[in-house]
Structure 1
């Protein structure tokens, strides 16, 4: 098994400027993602795909490879991770290097660590899967959620059979947490997606490890969790 780990990190971020190099608990945010792929035998390369020289320098110092700067057309607000992954895989194909799986580690999931990454890879091997995607349990059941019309009427908001159901009696629901995506390269190119249509399994993570940083409040929450973890280690 030969895996290419990719950490995508554009320079632009409108909601939280320069978030990928903003320091979290003593380290640039991107370093947490890089370290979550370190010293794992199945991972052949850990690279950062970025358009920003500052991010490239910090990523290199943190132990990742930055073999190229991402082209401008792949670094806009509308650019997708899928396009960045294709670009990286094709770069290595042009060098004559091929990978069995691609692993996407978004820097916005800093509490995901190497133990989680190893666990997802072990699940991939155990299930002989073509893809593994990390999930966590939903905090609140989506069965008690719905859209609202313009007049905010709640007629029919909850299905009649659920009105008197206790929350603990509702089935467990899980959501994608964005921390780990591992996908077989051949099927990624076939389906143009990390989330395959079949032979895909869930790697379940706890909610604490599933923090996704998008706003300043998320940073403060992640910092609090990491400080708490340190105090008990």
Structure 2
């Protein structure tokens, strides 16, 4: 709880991954992938309940052993490729409310972003709960190689700069402006705002900036290989 508001840590883990089958329980540095998110949620002092929404019995079993609550299996219509994240989130919130567990804030932690840290969740929730001008917060990383100054389109087979004023041979340290992308490791919002805006990003959304290496999202085998290497480096103290 923070500022009198109950916080739900929600981890969504669908069983039917196509890019990397079984990814949510695939080992990462000796732990099933989903366990990293469960442990990070449990380490946050403001989260009152850690719940996993899944349609997979094997995922549910792993999550329960790690200390998460799995009070239901997600219905099939919310576990296919067409299911919207907001519907999955509100289904969990409403199911819990039906059992007498009410929450004011939802923190969505997708298991495919295991490189976040508990301190990121804690910091993001503090910013959200102590600022009356914001109703949600999402984690972002600074765009460097993907800065507009380095982007091109292809027209009739030829490269065309995205920016009309884009110079040739621009150096990274010389680009103007700082840009950020939503990197997906932390989403948090009041429940009221989720119902109103049907998502986390709107005019009242703040940013929580994380290191670029944390932005790895595991969708394919190459992502899992990179995440394994980065997590290993962090466990050795080489990354902060």
Q: What is the TM-score of this pair, normalised by structure 2?
A: 0.90
What is the Cα deviation at residue 84 of structure 1?
0.7
> 2:141 touches 2:209 (CA, 8 Å); kept in 1?
yes
Aligned to 2:224: 219
2:196 maps to 1:190: yes
Aligned to 2:13: 9
Check 1:162–1:22 CA distance in 2 against 1; reply closer, same or farther (3 A cut): same
Aligned length, in residue pairs: 230
Q: Name the SS of the counterpart of 1:127 in structure 2.
A: coil
Aligned to 1:177: 183
1:111 to 115, 120, 123: 115
What is the Cα deviation at residue 39 of structure 1?
3.5
> 1:35 touches 1:113 (CA, 8 Å); kept in 2?
no
- Separation (CA, whole Å) in 2 of partners of 1:204 and 1:194: 16
- Separation (CA, whole Å) in 1 of partners of 2:78 and 2:24: 17
2:68 to 61, 64, 69: 64
Aligned to 2:91: 87
What's the RMSD between the two structures over aligned residues?
Answer: 1.6
- Separation (CA, whole Å) in 2 of partners of 1:8 and 1:158: 36
Aligned to 1:228: 233
- Separation (CA, whole Å) in 2 of partners of 1:159 and 1:75: 40
Aligned to 1:133: 138
Q: Name the SS of the counterpart of 1:168 in structure 2.
A: helix
Moved over 3 A (4+): none
Q: Name the SS of the counterpart of 2:138 in structure 1.
A: strand
2:149 maps to 1:168: no
What is the Cα deviation at residue 43 of structure 1?
1.0
> 1:32 touches 1:113 (CA, 8 Å); kept in 2?
no
- Separation (CA, whole Å) in 2 of partners of 1:51 and 1:9: 8
2:81 maps to 1:77: yes
What are structure 2's unaligned runs of at least 5 residues?
none
What are structure 1's unaligned runs of at least 5 residues?
none
Task: Summarize deviations over 1:90-124 as a string: whole Å, max 9, x none.
Answer: 10222233211111000011111211111111221
Q: Name the SS of the counterpart of 1:208 in structure 2.
A: helix
- Separation (CA, whole Å) in 2 of partners of 1:191 and 1:158: 31
What is the Cα deviation at residue 225 of structure 1?
1.3
> 1:99 touches 1:185 (CA, 8 Å); kept in 2?
yes
> 1:213 touches 1:219 (CA, 8 Å); kept in 2?
yes
Q: Name the SS of the counterpart of 2:141 in structure 1.
A: strand
- Separation (CA, whole Å) in 1 of partners of 2:15 and 2:164: 48
What is the Cα deviation at residue 215 of structure 1?
1.1
Aligned to 1:205: 210
What is the Cα deviation at residue 158 of structure 1?
4.0
Q: Name the SS of the counterpart of 2:158 in structure 1.
A: coil
